[in-house]
């Protein structure tokens, strides 16, 4: 073919990856209700769960429990929004939309990264909701530019990671019914075996060990450092970032191999 070069230059790769992102963003533009409906869950956690648990002494050692909880709930929303991509992928496969992506010359990693990046955009919309709630509830949110940029970076990375994980699960289980079951069985342990709603030091030792292997723990830790005024990272921002980026890279490599099998 004379029209296209043999090896994809970076710009072509970016074009194909951003094509996927743009399509996802267009869907959100056409149906913003989807985002609003996803705002209900974080609101319930912060307003109901958070208000009650704030009465428990010593839960969050020193800082206000709601302050402690807000970044955890933001991370949780990011996780739940991203997990939706797996079921969407199965849906696209059943409809035939997926085949249109797979017969295109786009590199498989570009297709996976496109989905992962667009998940970041959905995650950021959740951040707007959680920041709004935090403001109403009087949570000590930092609006300093470098803090906001830090939050954006961690949301983008966390969304992309969990979106890719979800795509892998979808490729393995293949049907919507099974995904529903497995999706719950994956997200709930990720959530509860993390530092999202209680500190790791309260956990029994075996659970502490698991939580240290859990990417959500590092996501929450990073968000806690950037989202709050006087926020601190327990594990270290550098480590948080390194762990997330390493897991994400591994997951993309796996997903790019499995994704084409969805079209078989």
Partner 1 sequence: MYNRQSATLTPSSDTDSAISTSALCRHFGDLVAVDNVSLSVLPGEIFGLIGSNGAGKSTLIKMLTTLLPPSSGAARVAGFDIIAQAGDVRRSIGYVPQMLSADGALTGYENLLLSARLYVIPRRERAQRIAEALAMTNLTRDADRLVQHYSGGMIRRLEIAQSMLHRPKILVMDEPTLGLDPVARHTVWDDIRALRETRRMTILITTHDMEEADELCDRIALMHHGRIQIIGAPAELKRQVGPEATLDDVFAHYTGLDVEPEGGYRQARQARRSAREHG
Instruction: By CB under 8 A, tell whether 264 contacts partner 1.
Output: yes
CB of 27 to partner 1, least distance (A): 4
Retrieve residue 127's tokens.
């951040």
Which CB sits closer to partner 1, 71 or 114?
114
* Opening angle at CA 263, ends 261 and 264, nearest 5: 70
Query: Nearest distance from residue 173's CB to partner 1, in Å?
Result: 18
The piece of 4-12, 63-71, 177-185, 246-254 that touches partner 1 (CB under 8 A) is 4-12
- 59 near partner 1, judged by CB under 8 A: no
Of 103 and 145, the one with the shorter C-beta distance to partner 1 is 103
Q: How many CA atoms lie within 13 A of 236 on its CB side?
A: 5
Tell me the two tokens of residue 72.
């955890």
Q: Considering the rule CB under 8 A, would residue 188 count as an interface residue with partner 1?
A: no
CA–CA separation, 259 vs 122, rounded Å?
21
Q: Judged by CB under 8 A, does residue 138 bind partner 1?
A: no
Least Å distance between CB 229 and partner 1? Answer: 40
- Which residues are CB-neighbours of 172 under 8 A, at least 6 positions away? 258
Q: Are 23 and 31 in contact (CB under 8 A)?
A: no
Q: Which is nearer to partner 1, 220 or 262 (CB)?
A: 262
Positions 215 through 244 that interact with partner 1 (CB under 8 A): none
175 touching partner 1, by CB under 8 A: no
Helix (H) or strand (E) holding 42: helix 40-44
Q: Which one among 22, 213, 229, 253 touches partner 1, defined by CB under 8 A?
A: 22
Contact present, 115 and 160 (Cβ < 8 Å): no
Q: Does residue 19 touch partner 1 according to CB under 8 A?
A: yes
* DSSP secondary structure letters along 56-92: STTSSTTS-HHHHHHHHHHHHHHHHHHHHHHHHHHHH
Token pair listed for 59 = 């839960």
Residues 80-109, interacting with partner 1 (CB under 8 A):
92, 94-97, 99-106
Name the residues that contact partner 1, by CB under 8 A. Answer: 1, 4, 8, 12, 15-16, 18-20, 22-23, 26-27, 30-31, 92, 94-97, 99-106, 260, 263-264
């Amino acid at each position: 073919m004379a029209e296209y070069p043999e090896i994809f230059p970076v710009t072509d790769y970016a074009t194909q990856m951003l094509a996927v992102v743009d399509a996802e963003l267009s869907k959100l533009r056409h149906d913003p209700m989807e985002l609003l409906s996803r705002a209900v869950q974080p609101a319930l956690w912060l307003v109901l769960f958070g208000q009650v648990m704030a009465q428990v002494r010593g839960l969050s050692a020193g800082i206000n429990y709601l302050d402690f909880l807000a970044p955890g709930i933001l991370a949780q929303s990011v996780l739940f929004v991203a997990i939706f991509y797996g079921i969407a992928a199965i849906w696209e496969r059943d409809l035939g939309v997926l085949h249109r992506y797979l017969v295109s010359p786009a590199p498989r990693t570009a297709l996976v990264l496109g989905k992962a990046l667009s998940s970041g955009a959905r995650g950021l919309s959740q951040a707007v909701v959680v920041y709004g709630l935090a403001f109403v509830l009087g949570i000590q949110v930092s609006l300093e530019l470098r803090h906001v940029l830090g939050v954006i970076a961690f949301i983008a990375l966390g969304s992309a990671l969990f979106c890719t994980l979800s795509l892998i699960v979808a490729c393995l289980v293949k049907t919507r019914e099974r995904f529903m079951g497995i999706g719950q069985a994956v997200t709930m342990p990720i959530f509860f075996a993390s530092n999202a709603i209680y500190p790791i030091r309260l956990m029994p030792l075996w659970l502490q060990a698991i939580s240290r292997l859990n990417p959500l723990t590092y996501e929450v830790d990073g968000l806690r450092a950037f989202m709050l005024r006087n926020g601190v990272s327990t594990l270290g921002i550098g480590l948080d970032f390194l762990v997330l980026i390493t897991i994400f890279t591994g997951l993309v490599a796996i997903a790019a191999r499995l994704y084409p099998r969805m079209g078989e």
